[in-house]
A = this chain, B = another copy of it.
């Protein structure tokens, strides 16, 4: 898989702990491909975004809205035909998974994409603790990636800086949640904007 920086590229910003991010991740590449477009994935940390924007995590599980959202995650997954099991630990910090993604992306962007899918499924299907470095290394090892090389990369200052830069770039362009998809400069927030994304790609705007 090759990724380009041309203006046709779709940007997909997400946190590995975001259920709607997971739903978008399962769909966006196929939707884009139907219209001859490619997607650049950007894992970020919602904690950083929420702290900078003064937002709160939407799904607290306690308030009416929080309980609704936990229910809606599962229903939206069924609606989109995506496997989903509510994780027992939620949300989780995802800096290890995100750093691993950026390091892998520097080696092989197709492998990075497969790793991202595997992380999301580990969390939202197999209920694994993707915050743990060992889990991230296990997922990578399952894709043939050397554990020790990746373990060292997770501590590399340039990889930490890359994730920090991506979060700052996200804030600079107005990202406030996950998933956040940008097409032709137009922002679409939420997996429920997939129908609008398809219309946009079909019509070149509407």
Contacts and interface: CB of A to CB of B under 8 A. Distances in A.
Interface of A: 53-55, 63-65, 67-68, 71-72, 75-76, 78-79, 171, 174-177, 187, 189-190, 192-193, 195-196, 199, 206
Contacts of A75: 196, 206
A171 B171 CA distance: 34
The 4 tightest CB contacts between A and B, nearest first, are A192-B192, A64-B174, A65-B176, A64-B176
A63 B72 contact: no
8 contacts: A55-B65, A64-B176, A65-B176, A65-B189, A71-B187, A78-B206, A79-B199, A195-B195
B196 A79 contact: yes
A180 to B, nearest CB: 9
A29 to B, nearest CB: 21
A107 to B, nearest CB: 33
A82 B189 CA distance: 20
B195 A68 contact: no
B176 A206 contact: no
A171 to B, nearest CB: 8
Given A64-B175, A75-B206, 4 more contacts: A53-B63, A64-B174, A64-B176, A68-B176
Interface centre among A65, A174, A177, A189 (most CB of B within 10 A): A65
A200 to B, nearest CB: 9
A72 B181 CA distance: 13
B174 A206 contact: no
Nearest to A170: B64
